[in-house]
Each structure stands twice: as C-alpha cells, then as structure tokens.
Amino acid sequence: MKEKELENLFGKLQGQFDIEEPELGHQDRFLEKLNQSKGVVTLQKTKKTWWKPLSIAASIALVVALGFQQITKERSVREQVVEIAPEVSQTEFHFTSLIQEQVQVLENSKAPENEQLVDDTLKQLAKLEADYKNLEQDLINGGNDKIILNAMIINFQTRIDLLQEVLTNIEEIKNLKSNNDANFTI
C-alpha cells in the first residue's frame, strides 16, 4: 500500500517540483554554513577577481596613451616646410618628378664605357639631396625664408643641370663609339 500512496503523492505534486539549478557558488556557501553549524573554522578565503578591474585600468591607460601620442605627435619636416612656404610643395613636386625621370633615363643608359660617370653622378645627386634636406631644416629653424627658398630652387636646378650635362656626355660617348666602330673595317 505504501507504494500506491507514494505514487499518488508524486502524481499530485507533478509539475510543482523545483527543477532549477542552484546559483554559482551554492555548494561552497552550503558547505560553509554546514561547517559553521558544526563549529569548524575554514581558512580558505574567497577568491577575489582582480582581472576585471585590472583590464579596465589597462584599457583606460591604453586610451590615454594613444590620446597623448596623437596630441603630441610631431609634424614631419615636409609638413612644417609646407606650412612655412606653401609654394614649396608645388615647386618641389614639379622638380622632383623631372629629376626622377632623368635619373631613370640615366640608369637605363648605363653601359660599361660610362659606368663610372653614371655612378659618380648618382653620388653627386645624393649629396645635393642631403644639402636640400639641410636647407629644409634651416627653413624650419627660422632662417631667412627668401634666401633659403632661393637656395632650395638653385639646388633643384643644379641637379637638373647635372643630369642634363651627364646625359649629353653619354650621348657623345655613344656617338664616338659608333663612329670609331664605323671607321674600323676589316
């Protein structure tokens, strides 16, 4: 009979059972209360999570560092020169593109008979470029704007003149070689 009574009892209570899972840490809290009721003292401390505040602090520090870097970001030499003399930008673009074209022609015309001439010319161009960088720095440092700008233009013109002269010399070398080859017949 007891089995029937149990079945009736469970039949009446069906759908009323608590099937939810206990909250996180329920077992630890239960054991702690049980130990306290028995008079047992536990030495285990609860874990404190430091990663959340630490990650928030790290995020804030990162945002502040990036903001500070953006504020104190130094402008490039080119930006400073353009700010001082806006016309430099257009002039420099024009001269630079012309020089690059002529340097490409010079490098394409490199041959064993003019190799030394081409190498020396490229070295001279590198020196003139370094001088130009120094002129830019002088302009930024507050030198006489008109004199420095004039020197910058003369630097570009010197490079162009050098390239034209060397390219003319290379053409003369080619013509002399072809004339000498034409004069020799076997």
Segment 135-185, tens digit of pLDDT: 888 877 876 778 888 888 899 899 999 989 988 988 888 888 777 655 555
Average pLDDT over residues 99-117: 86
Whole-Å CA distances, 63 to 13, 50, 59, 60: 58, 20, 6, 5
Which residues are CB-neighbours of 111 under 8 A, at least 6 positions away?
A: 174
pLDDT above 70 (res 51)? yes
pTM attached to this predicted model: 0.53
Task: Give me the pLDDT at residue 66, please.
Answer: 80
Please name the helix (run of DSSP H) or strand (run of DSSP E) that holds residue 160, with its range, or none. Answer: helix 145-183
d(CA 152, CA 103): 19
- 176 close to 114: Cβ distance less than 8 angstroms: no
Task: Kindly report which listed range (44-48, 53-57, 77-81, 120-124) carries the lowest average pLDDT score.
Answer: 44-48
pLDDT above 80 (res 186)? no
Task: Give me the pLDDT at residue 161, please.
Answer: 92
